[in-house]
Amino acid sequence: MGRKERKEREEKRDNYATKRSSEKRRNMLITIGVLGVIAVIVGYSGWMFMNMSQTAPGGPEGAGALGSEHSHAAILVKVFGDTFDFSLPAYQIKTSWIHFEGGDGTTIHKHATGVKMEYLFQSLKLGLDDKCFVFQDGRQFCTNEDYALKFFVNGEQVSDIRNYEFMDKDRILIVYGAETPEEIQGLLLQLDNQDIIEI
């Protein structure tokens, strides 16, 4: 009877060891499989990030690769004398290509060549053409016989700003109202004194 019990115990021990070894092998294979899938995902994501170009999702047509430029411009938008506040969360970093950031509403940050002002306003869901400035809530401020929408780049008046690609340190004024030439000069001076925040 002693030998029989010993033999049964040895068989149980062998079965248990075989079972444990099989479980460990299976768990190891699962772990290797999961790590392999993670490595493929990380590798693919890294490759996509490194090869981002103008065709990246959400990128403007004709723009260079993200990171091909990093320039800043000061902007001041006045509607009936009130400053339009781009520092509100609704206007902060809506696209990686061109945006306002860090709670600042006076400096535009551009991160690729070929990005035009029209794309900035589209990303902010603001309407802008050569005659009208349209708020997100639908209010329109359009040139008429009493009031005018005007654009200035570095102190010079331009007829339209949509296709303008700003250069580093440019200063852009958009004004809607009935300002006199003296009042416009005052706004241009205010814009010239505005800090350009380079982050």
Question: Predicted confidence band at 14 (pLDDT cuts at 50, 70, 90)?
Answer: low
Window from 12-16, 114-118, 181-185 with minimum mean pLDDT? 12-16
- pLDDT for 9 equals 72
Cβ contact 106:194 at 8 Å: yes
- Dihedral sign for Cα atoms in the order 120, 123, 125, 127: positive
Distance CA 156, CA 134 (A): 23
Which pLDDT score, from 0 to 100, does residue 53 have?
A: 45
3-state DSSP assignment of residue 85: coil
- What is the structure's pLDDT at 55? 44
115-137: pLDDT as tens digits = 999 999 999 999 999 999 999 99
Please give the share of the chain, as a percent, with pLDDT higher than 90.
66
> Which band of pLDDT confidence, cut at 50, 70 and 90, is reported for residue 28?
confident
Two tokens, residue 10: 């040895």
Q: Is pLDDT at 154 greater than 60 in this prediction? A: yes
Q: The tokens of 63 are what?
A: 């723009």
Structure tokens that stand for 127 in this block: 């309407």
Under 8 Å between Cβ of 136 and 119: no
